[in-house]
Structure 1
Amino acid sequence: MRHSPAMRDAESVDIDPLARLWHDGWRDAHARILPAELARRRTLESFRQRLADNLAHTRVAGAPGHPTGFCMVKQDELYQLYVSADARGSGIAAALLADGENRLSACGVTTAWLACAIGNDRAARFYEKNGWHRKGPMTSELETPDGIFRLEVWRYEKPLHQS
């Protein structure tokens, strides 16, 4: 049985390493399947700014300044979930996902949702394995430094138990 890693609130010292982790993870998972125009807008600095803006809604695994993964929530959405390449398969992603679900539930969310890039089959299998159900396609309005970028994604939902 795997040890469940401790989750903690993100700190300002985590912003730069998380931005690198997110940027690398985004490119690894999405560069082949998403429009080049969106990839052009997903710079390291854009990830750094999004982290700084959402730090209060971000939890991480790993020591301060050396995170191995993170989960960000936004209202009723499990907004972002990334782990470093070397942490894949370690159980960190599942622990971060459960932590995010618990945080949403504690805020009174009864059905959480997330967006998954169409074609990101590895992520889709992971979400489905963890009780999320694909509801179908939706248009997501992604924030970029150049304004909103509309992208069709898979919408996943999961009913949450109230804490």
Structure 2
Amino acid sequence: MFDIRPADAAHREDIVKLWHQGWHDAHANLVPDGVLPYRSKNHFSLWMKESEDSFFIASDDIGAVGFVSVNGPEVVKLYVSDRARGTGVAQALLSFAEKRLHEAGIERAMLLCTAGNIRAERFYAREGWDLSHSYEGALWTPKTSNERFFVLTHRFEKDLTLPP
């Protein structure tokens, strides 16, 4: 069993670890090589510090197994540990985020997914998210960097007018 709760400062290291591992697993082969130096654990810590997202963490008896973040009408980040894949944690985190957005009065939610992340694309489709469109999206780099990188990005949307 696991529970989902708002993340606080004590969860920061767990989130960065999950995010770093999950991002490299799902995205490293889909982005320009030049972005990889900006995907160290230290950069994920900085990225999180700059973020205005609300983070929620899923934990079991052993520790953190995943997290989700939301901002406005967007599910911004969703990552689960390797050991949590196939256990329902990702589905529970996405449902949790959808419920939070619905309760905040959001009628149409959105999320972005790097094109080619087939596992995520299939997951979102199974969970009722519709591919709205694709575009060349800018990847995060620190504010101090002048480098810009772009990757084909899918925008998924979901109607949240009905309670989850």
Distance 2:78 2:92 in 1: 11
Task: Quote the offset at 1:102 in angstroms.
Answer: 1.0
Q: Deviations over 1:75-104 (max 9, x none)?
A: 111100000011100100000000111111
- Code of the residue aligned with 1:69 in structure 2: it is G
Task: Quote the offset at 1:159 in angstroms.
Answer: 0.6
- Code of the residue aligned with 1:141 in structure 2: it is A
Which of these residues, 96, 102, 106, is aligned with residue 103 of structure 2?
A: 106
Residue 80 of structure 1 aligns with which residue? 77
TM-score, normalising length: structure 2: 0.87
Three-state SS of the structure 2 residue aligned to 1:143 is coil
1:116 aligns with 2:113: yes
Task: Quote the offset at 1:42 in angstroms.
Answer: 1.5
1:127-138 matched pairs, under 5 angstroms: 127-138=124-135
Q: Deviations over 1:91-126 (max 9, x none)?
A: 000000001111111221111111111100010000
1:3-152 matched pairs, under 5 angstroms: 5-54=2-51, 57-62=54-59, 66-145=63-142, 146=145, 149-152=149-152
Three-state SS of the structure 2 residue aligned to 1:131 is coil
Q: Deviations over 1:43-99 (max 9, x none)?
A: 211212233444860011006993110000111111000000111001000000001
Three-state SS of the structure 2 residue aligned to 1:119 is coil
Q: Among the aligned pairs, what percent are the same residue?
A: 34
Aligned length: 160
TM-score, normalising length: structure 1: 0.88
